[in-house]
Amino acid sequence: MDGYFWSLSLVYFFHLLATVVWIGGLAVSALLLLPIAKRSLDPGTYALFLDRFRQRFTPLSWLCLAILVGSGLFQMSASPQYEGFLVVRNPWSVAIFLKHLVFVGMTAVNAWLTWGVYPRLNRLAWLRAQRPSHPEAEYLERSERFWLGVNWVLSLIVLLLTAAARVAAG
């Protein structure tokens, strides 16, 4: 087998790995971790837990997004269905185009969480320890859970569009 085969195999591997880590992390966060922690921990401990969780997951999510962009562009250009940038003439290219639009939405949500919601939550974390029912902190925590859920739903749409592209490719 030639180098191209192994190069493309490696690109697919990293794309799949980044997908599993990104979508798995979103699913575990939105569906299990945050709801269980919210019900189980006192507000001060919950705020500290969220801060530490974000410190670990946010850089990982950005790394996964970068890997997905790079490996996805390589895979797309290697596909016999690919006819050029923004050329949408067949079912495969429609699915890929829609997938990229949804991916841009996911990236925008991730950016909003990283640079909009999380810094405000971090500034309010100390207030939660002093005043457990701080209304702005509660609003931001609900916002975080909402946007993580939105990103998880968008990731499912990306997976559906990926499946459609695979079927269209034959």
109-164 residue pLDDT tens: 999 999 998 888 877 766 666 666 667 777 887 888 889 889 989 999 999 999 99
Give the mean model confidence (pLDDT) for residues 20-44: 86
Q: Which of 32-36, 57-61, 101-105 has the lowest mean pLDDT?
A: 32-36
* CA–CA distance, 39 with 34 (Å, rounded to integer): 9
Q: Which segments of 79-134 does DSSP mark as H helices, in order? A: 91-112, 118-130
pTM metric for this prediction: 0.81
pLDDT of residue 1: 64
Give the mean model confidence (pLDDT) for residues 3-17: 90
* CA–CA distance, 112 with 118 (Å, rounded to integer): 9
pLDDT of residue 61: 92
Record the tokens describing residue 23, joined without a space.
């979508």
Contact of 155 with 117, CB cutoff 8 Å: no
pLDDT of residue 132: 62
Q: Which domain holds residue 42?
A: 3-169
Q: Which stretches of 5-161 are assigned E, i.e. beta strand? A: none
Tell me the pLDDT tens digit for each residue of 36-74.
988 998 877 887 888 888 889 999 999 999 999 999 988
Give the mean model confidence (pLDDT) for residues 9-29: 91
Is residue 35's pLDDT more than 80?
yes
Residue from 126, 146, 150 nearest 34 by CA:
146
Residue from 41, 61, 59, 62 nearest 50 by CA:
41
Coil, helix or strand at residue 58: helix
* CA–CA distance, 151 with 102 (Å, rounded to integer): 10
Is residue 98's pLDDT more than 90?
yes
Is residue 13's pLDDT more than 90?
yes
Q: How many domains does the chain have?
A: 1
